Amino acid sequence: MSESTPALWQQLLASARVLAGVRAGRSTTTEFEAVDAALRAGVQALSLQVLRSLGLAQALRQLLARRPPPPAADALLCTALALLAADAPAYAPHTLVSQAVEAAKRDAATLHQASFINGCLRRFLREREALLTQVQTQPEARYNHPAWWIARLRQDQAAHWQDVLAAAQRPALIVLRINQRLCSRSAYLGELERAGIAAEPVGQCGLQLARSMPVQNLPGYAQGWFSVQDAAAQLAAPLLLSGLHAAGERLRVLDACAAPGGKTAHILESADVDVLALEIDAQRARRIEANLARLQLQARVQVADAALPQSWWDGQPFDAVLLDAPCTASGIVGRHPDVRWLRRPEDIAALAAQQSRLLQALWPVLRPGGRLLLCTCSVFRAEGQDQLQAFLAHHKDAQLLPSPGHLLPGVVPDGPAMPDNLGREHDGFFYALLQRQAQ
């Protein structure tokens, strides 16, 4: 091992701290920022693997130790168990055990639990098959999601719930959206081929990479030739804009919850329009501006609460409104496996209520004949079909246009307005396109 290569025990210890942070309610995005730069890439890879196997690891720990050890030791033990229980562990089992014990010895919070951790892990190696068989009767261990999540998904998506859970266990692929104002998809595919990078077309203007890599190293990143955006998310701009005519000289478009700006940028890449991008958080609003600058695009970005139009609306109606509403993010757990462990059952109702408030507030800013696209990256009906039906029941001037509805990870979509090459390796989304009728 070279001096510049971090020891495995260092990565395990840092990964256990990430897990402890998630258990305390913090996202992996926040936790990874606190990891030393030399360790970050390895810790990210290990942590994502651990979070995808956390239900199994926690069930095994309960068999190995009925009483949980202190939080730091429990996080380290579950980290090691998740990695050991993998079908094809990245490290030799005895190496993982010895390095996990070394990690315990190196940290004051786990030092006195090193022998306990060693005993649990070595017992797992001796009884591996029997222990794995025993925990498979538990839904959390079998599917690696919280039990309430599994039950809710079975209720909401009865025909496909197992497909959705299985898709969440596969590392998400990188999909690029080509900035067609600067580069065609065929031309950029040629750039990737010359760089020895395999990719294939997906959707109308996307390219799916065959393997993950730092996107900043791809050709044309600094020049704004592409953005990273899942194929399902790339449906928003064409759904909103296709066939829509401006009441004035140019379409006036509102992106109501715009950060980090991916859909704002796609709208601007697709048509000559005037866009107002709202974001309630000032720091996230700056990310929109930075992303637009890299892509050589311009929009008016305003820090404001979309649910309070009186604070930002000039009274001139919009031709189109994109409401990419705050949600549980249950459709993107393949990309962000911490989400499943951060959410609580009561979050669904709270977020659905927030979505309803936004819908009610934004409908009046839309001109008659204009369109509002509601989208959430959720697989739960309360944040999709149920939300839509409740809105239509109370707004007789709202007409539902052909819309994809729920797009489920692991399921090939077959709804209206769908490209035929979207496949099944996409995030989960809900889309409903509404037109405001004259009363």
Instruction: Determine what percent of the chain is predicted with pLDDT higher than 70.
Output: 98
Q: Is the same domain home to 200 and 187?
A: yes
Residue 364, pLDDT > 80, answer yes
Within-domain flag for 162: no
> Which CATH number is 251's domain given?
3.40.50.150
Within-domain flag for 150: no
Q: Is the same domain home to 317 and 416?
A: yes
Q: Is the same domain home to 271 and 389?
A: yes
Q: What is the pLDDT of residue 3?
A: 52
Q: Is the same domain home to 244 and 392?
A: yes
Confidence of residue 306 (pLDDT cuts 50, 70, 90): very high
Q: What are the backbone angles phi and psi of residue 256, rounded to the nearest 5°?
A: -80, -30
Q: Are 371 and 434 in contact (CB under 8 A)?
A: yes
Confidence of residue 1 (pLDDT cuts 50, 70, 90): very low
Q: Is 377 a catalytic residue?
A: yes
Q: Which domain holds residue 72?
A: 8-143
> Which CATH number is 186's domain given?
3.30.70.1170
Within-domain flag for 133: yes
Q: Is the same domain home to 313 and 429?
A: yes
Q: Is the same domain home to 304 and 408?
A: yes
Count of domains in the chain?
A: 3
Q: Is the same domain home to 268 and 407?
A: yes
For the record, the structure tokens of 272 come out as 């000559």
Q: What is the pLDDT of residue 10?
A: 97
Q: Is the same domain home to 334 and 413?
A: yes
What's the pLDDT tens digit per position in 9-58?
A: 999 999 999 999 999 999 999 999 999 999 999 999 999 999 999 999 99
What's the pLDDT tens digit per position in 51-90?
A: 999 999 999 999 999 889 999 999 999 999 999 999 888 8
Residue 225, pLDDT > 60, answer yes
Q: Is the same domain home to 294 and 188?
A: no
In 360-379, which positions are buried (b, 16+ CB within 10 angstroms) versus exposed (e)?
A: ebbbebbbeebbbbbbbbbb
